[in-house]
Structures are given as structure tokens and as C-alpha cells.
């Protein structure tokens, strides 16, 4: 007995199973491939993926993670994607065959300043939506425009206060005395105001690090000794915290370690360029003024509690200066304290190199744990913790010692220390990320066509149990995706 094509229950069940995303072992979700799509749809998707990828790069994501997000989002739309991503731009090809031919190609540069923490949170929420379901193109574009147009959460005065807290926090972690803390606060206020006005004048953005370094150096040389009884070199680095490329150095090392040589070299070159600009400003400042001798005895340090207070000040400074959502305050402060504790204990146990490695290894699982319990994107935790490890401050110290003071021996020692620290953090992050696995999206067989309503469409004598256009009951376990789209283990993604 054969059922009519209209009532073929088994065939309809197979079609429903093909249309439903299938979760496979290892956390992979398989969605059916869109067998046919117009050129307009391909162009719209390519443009949307370029726009999304550019915003992710502005948020500080690694290029490999950006490629993974683009692959997952395109798979949710039933499309293949091939991308080439570097920190300054990306190419995206959507559609075409497994060999990469055909489809639509688009390009987008990465322009504008880095995203604030509240913008990063909104962007990551949009990415999770686009991974979970097929968001209409116009709705996704509108959400990206809203991310870019988000107003700053705090007033200009609160933003400057946040920069002061960042400066004092970093300074207290390095050298904590009462006069030094006063100097950090005064210089932090000046640089915070300078950045506030400089960010509103894009033409001065490139010269801003040099101008800030000149002013900080000149003020320190003129008044640090007679008023604060401190060495001017103690006050150079903390007020320049917003310019220090610690995250860029670490991300560049991670890119190189994972085989993204072009992206890694680009990030490291940009970080070294910033260090050279800051060192140039310090050099010009020392040429303009000479240090005045201290007018009294050296002040006493505050005690062992000062660096821990500096960590808390650093966290509150991040919340204000980078406009983080207030609800993440407790999670962010807790993450910074745990990172500092692990780094300190590991350093006491096996030296500062192992301390940097241990802190880096803890960061990915801790950020993921916080994300699952508080719905806080892991980047909101990652970026402040990278700054806490301050390899950029060590790098600026070494470069300034070589260029300004002519101390090649001490400067080279500091430079080697910075290189080892950055490599240790990067290796730790990779190891910590390797302990995790995350779900991925992959393309399966195309969705079967809707059966014809005309019974005459079925040839005479043919069985209607398995229509010709229906895939078999057991789908193939190997997704038809382009090489490199989904073969990378999910656990190799730092920060996720």
C-alpha cells in the first residue's frame, strides 16, 4: 500500500528534519545550505559581513575570531563565506562553490577609534543574535548603526575622573608614595583633558601621543623634584596609560603564535610605532627642560596594600573612562583582583615569567565563566585584564631608557623582559583557550524542495516513499563547507 504524495508522512518528516538545525557531537550545529540565492541577496550579505567584521576589529577581536564569526553568521543565512582579515580591513566573498569561485566579493576598511566597553557589549549581543537566528539584513544594519551612534554613558567630567583613576591605579601598582600619587592625579587630569579635546579633533589624533608625552615629561622635570621629592622618571609612564599598546603587543604575539603572521606583524608594528612616538615625546621633553634636584628626603612607600588598591582604582577607572555598563562593576573588579592574585602568587613561586603565563592562562576560562553567569561579553573582561598585565608600560620604559637616557644595557634588559612577558601572556592565553570548546555553525545538505501539489508529477509506477528530491534519512556527518571554514578546533580561540 502506497500513500498519496499529499499524505507521505515519512517524506514530510525527513524534510522537517532537514530544515531543523542539527547539533552534532563536539557542539557543532548544522544548518541547511541555501541552494539558490539571487545576486542581490549575495551582495547584501557580503556588505553586511564586511560591516560586521570591521566593527569586531574595532572592538579588539583577533582576526581568527573575526573569521570564525563571519563563517558562523554566513552559515546561519545558509551561505558559504571566504574571508581575508587583517587589523586594517577585510575582504569577504559570499556564495560560490566549494572551490571559492563565483559569489560576490566585498571589502571594508577599519576606520575610526576603538569601541568603548558599552559598544563592545552591544556588538557582542548582536553577534549572538545573528548566530542564533537569521536576522533580516536591514535590522542587522540598523543595530550596527545603533552600536556606532551610542552616546557615552558618562559625562566629560566623569570621563576625565576615570582617566585620573586609571593613572593613579597604574602608578600605585608601580611606585606608591603620597607625593607620587598626588603627581599621578595632577598629570592624569592634564592628559585626560588633552585626550577629551583631542578625540573631538580627528586631525590631531596621530600627534596626540607625542604632545602628551612632551607635556608630561616637561612638567615632571620642572616640578617633580622640588615639590614632590620624587625622581621625574617615576611620573613619566602612568599618565600615558591610555596610549600604552599592551593589548596590541599581546594580541600580536597571539596572532603570530596561531599562524596569522600578517595580522601579528601588523599589530606588533603598530604597537612599536606608538612606543616610538611616546619615546620621541619624552626625548623632546627632556631636551626642553632639565631635571631639578629634589628638595628633601625621599618619601616612604605606602605599604603592601597600595598595589591592591591600585587594582581597584584601575577597575573603576575602566568603568568610567571606557563607559562600561554599571552592572559589570563587581565582575570586572573581581576578575582584576583574581588576575593580580594569580600573577603575584605564581611570580613568587616561579618568577615573573611564570606569573605572566599563569595570569594569561586563567583569563580565557575566567572570562567565559563570567560571560555565562552575568551575560557580560568576554571582551569586557579581556581588555582591562590585558592592561593590568602592563607589558606596554615595560616596553615604553625600555625604549625611553635606550633613546632618552642612552642606557643601552638597562634598556635592552627591559626590552628583553617585555618580549618575554608578552610571549608568556600570549602562550598562557592560548593554553587557557585550548581548554574550552564552543559550538560552531556548519553547512549541511541543501533544504529539499517543496513537493509538488500535482499528483501527476509522480511518474506512474514509481514509489512515493522516497521522493527523488529528498535526501536520505541519515544526513552526512561531514559538512560541505570550504576548507578552513570550520576545520579549526573551537578551543583554539583565545578570549572565547
The secondary structure of 357-424 as a DSSP string is HHHHHHHHHHHHHHHHHH---HHHHHHHHHHHT-HHHHHHHHHHHHHTS--HHHHHHHHHHHHHHHHH
d(CA 245, CA 233): 19
pLDDT at 367: 85
User: For 235-244, 387-396, 430-439, which range has the lowest pLDDT when averaged over its residues?
Assistant: 387-396
pLDDT at 142: 93
Instruction: Give residue 482's pLDDT.
Output: 38
User: Residue 467: what pLDDT?
Assistant: 41
Q: pLDDT digit string (tens) for 443-453? A: 655 555 444 44
Confidence bin at 399 (pLDDT 50/70/90): low
Torsion of CA 264, 268, 273, 276, to 10 degrees: -170
pLDDT tens per residue across span 44-81: 999 999 999 999 998 888 888 899 899 989 888 888 88
Over residues 397-424, mean pLDDT: 67
Mean pLDDT, residues 307-323: 88
**C-alpha pair distances (Å), 159 with each of 142, 162, 164, 383, 433:** 27, 5, 9, 18, 33
At 6, the pLDDT band (50, 70, 90 cuts) reads: very low
The pLDDT of residue 70: 92
> pLDDT tens digits, residue range 351-390?
888 888 888 888 888 888 888 887 777 777 877 887 777 6
Instruction: State the sign of the Cα–Cα–Cα–Cα dihedral 111, 113, 117, 122.
Output: negative
Q: Average pLDDT over the chain, rounded to whole?
A: 75
Q: What is the mean pLDDT of residues 173-177?
A: 83
Q: What is the pLDDT of residue 279?
A: 83
- The x, y and z cell numbers of residue 187, run together, are 598629570
Q: Say how far apart CA 328 and CA 331 lie, in whole Å.
A: 5
Q: What band does 480 get if pLDDT is binned at 50, 70 and 90?
A: very low
Q: What pLDDT score does 91 carry?
A: 92
Give the separation between CA 42 and CA 138, rounded to whole angstroms. Answer: 14
Residue 343 has pLDDT above 80, yes or no: yes
Residue 257: is its pLDDT beyond 70? yes
- Taking the mean position of all CA atoms in its chain, how far away is CA 463? 56
Cα gap 58→338, rounded to integer Å? 27
The whole-model pTM stands at 0.73
Q: Which is higher by pLDDT, 304 or 32? A: 304
The answer to whether the CB of 401 falls within 8 A of the CB of 410 is yes
What does the pLDDT look like over 264-292, one tens digit per residue?
888 888 888 888 888 888 888 888 877 67
**Rounded alpha-carbon distances, angstroms, from residue 354 to 298, 349, 360:** 33, 8, 10
Statement: residue 469 has pLDDT above 50: no
- pLDDT given at position 392: 54
Q: Give the residue from 480, 488, 487 showing the smallest Cα distance to 80.
A: 480
How confident is the model over 426-441, as a mean pLDDT?
Answer: 75
82 phi and psi, to 5 degrees?
-125, 135
Q: Residue 19 pLDDT > 60, yes or no?
A: no
pLDDT for res 144: 93
Looking at the predicted structure, is the pLDDT value of residue 109 above 80? yes
Which pLDDT tens digit goes with each residue over 451-468? 444 444 444 333 334 344
Amino acid at each position: 500500500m502506497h500513500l498519496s504524495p499529499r499524505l507521505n508522512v515519512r517524506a514530510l518528516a525527513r524534510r522537517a528534519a532537514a530544515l531543523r538545525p542539527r547539533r552534532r557531537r563536539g557542539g557543532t550545529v548544522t544548518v541547511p545550505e541555501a541552494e539558490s540565492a539571487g545576486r542581490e541577496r549575495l551582495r547584501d550579505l557580503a556588505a553586511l559581513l564586511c560591516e560586521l567584521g570591521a566593527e569586531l576589529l574595532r572592538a579588539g577581536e583577533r582576526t581568527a575570531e573575526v573569521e570564525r564569526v563571519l563563517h558562523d553568521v554566513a552559515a546561519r543565512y545558509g551561505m558559504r563565506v571566504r574571508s581575508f582579515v587583517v587589523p586594517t580591513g577585510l575582504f569577504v566573498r559570499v556564495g560560490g562553490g566549494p572551490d571559492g569561485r563565483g559569489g560576490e566579493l566585498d571589502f571594508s576598511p577599519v576606520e575610526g577609534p576603538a569601541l568603548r566597553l558599552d559598544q563592545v557589549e552591544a556588538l557582542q549581543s548582536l553577534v549572538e543574535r545573528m548566530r542564533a537566528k537569521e536576522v533580516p539584513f536591514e535590522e542587522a544594519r540598523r543595530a550596527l548603526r545603533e552600536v556606532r551612534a551610542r552616546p557615552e554613558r558618562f559625562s566629560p567630567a566623569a570621563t576625565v575622573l576615570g582617566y585620573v583613576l586609571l593613572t593613579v591605579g597604574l602608578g600605585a601598582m608601580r611606585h606608591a608614595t603620597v607625593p607620587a600619587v598626588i603627581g599621578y592625579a595632577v598629570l592624569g587630569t592634564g592628559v585626560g583633558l588633552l585626550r577629551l579635546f583631542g578625540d573631538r579633533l580627528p586631525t590631531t589624533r596621530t600627534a596626540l601621543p607625542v604632545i602628551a608625552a612632551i607635556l608630561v615629561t616637561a612638567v615632571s622635570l620642572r616640578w617633580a623634584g622640588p615639590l614632590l621629592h620624587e625622581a621625574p622618571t617615576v611620573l613619566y609612564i602612568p599618565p600615558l596609560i591610555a596610549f600604552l599598546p599592551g593589548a596590541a603587543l599581546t594580541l600580536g604575539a597571539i596572532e603570530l603564535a596561531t599562524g596569522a603572521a600578517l595580522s601579528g606583524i601588523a599589530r606588533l608594528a603598530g604597537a612599536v610605532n606608538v612606543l616610538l612616538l611616546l619615546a620621541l615625546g619624552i626625548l623632546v621633553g627632556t631636551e626642553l627642560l632639565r631635571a631639578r634636584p629634589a628638595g628633601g628626603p625621599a618619601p616612604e612607600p605606602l605599604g603592601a596594600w597600595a598595589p591592591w588598591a591600585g587594582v581597584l582604582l584601575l577597575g573603576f577607572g575602566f568603568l568610567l573612562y571606557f563607559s562600561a555598563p554599571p552592572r559589570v562593576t563587581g565582575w570586572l573588579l573581581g576578575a582584576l583582583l583574581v588576575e593580580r592574585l594569580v600573577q603575584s602568587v605564581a611570580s613568587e613561586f616561579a618568577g615573573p615569567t611564570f606569573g605572566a603565563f599563569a595570569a594569561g592562562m586563567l583569563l580565557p576560562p575566567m572570562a567565559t565563566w563570567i560571560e555565562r553567569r552575568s551575560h557580560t561579553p568576554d571582551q569586557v573582561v579581556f581588555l582591562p585584564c590585558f592592561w593590568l598585565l602592563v607589558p606596554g608600560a615595560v616596553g615604553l620604559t625600555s625604549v625611553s631608557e635606550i633613546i632618552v637616557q642612552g642606557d643601552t644595557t638597562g634598556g635592552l634588559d627591559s626590552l628583553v623582559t617585555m618580549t618575554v612577558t608578552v610571549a608568556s601572556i600570549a602562550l598562557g592565553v592560548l593554553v587557557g583557550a585550548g581548554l574550552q570548546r564552543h559550538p560552531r555553525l556548519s553547512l549541511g545538505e541543501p533544504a529539499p524542495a517543496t513537493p509538488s501539489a500535482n499528483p501527476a508529477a509522480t511518474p506512474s509506477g514509481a514509489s512515493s516513499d522516497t521522493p527523488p528530491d529528498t535526501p536520505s534519512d541519515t544526513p552526512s556527518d561531514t559538512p560541505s563547507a570550504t576548507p578552513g571554514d570550520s576545520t579549526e578546533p573551537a578551543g583554539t580561540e583565545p578570549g572565547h
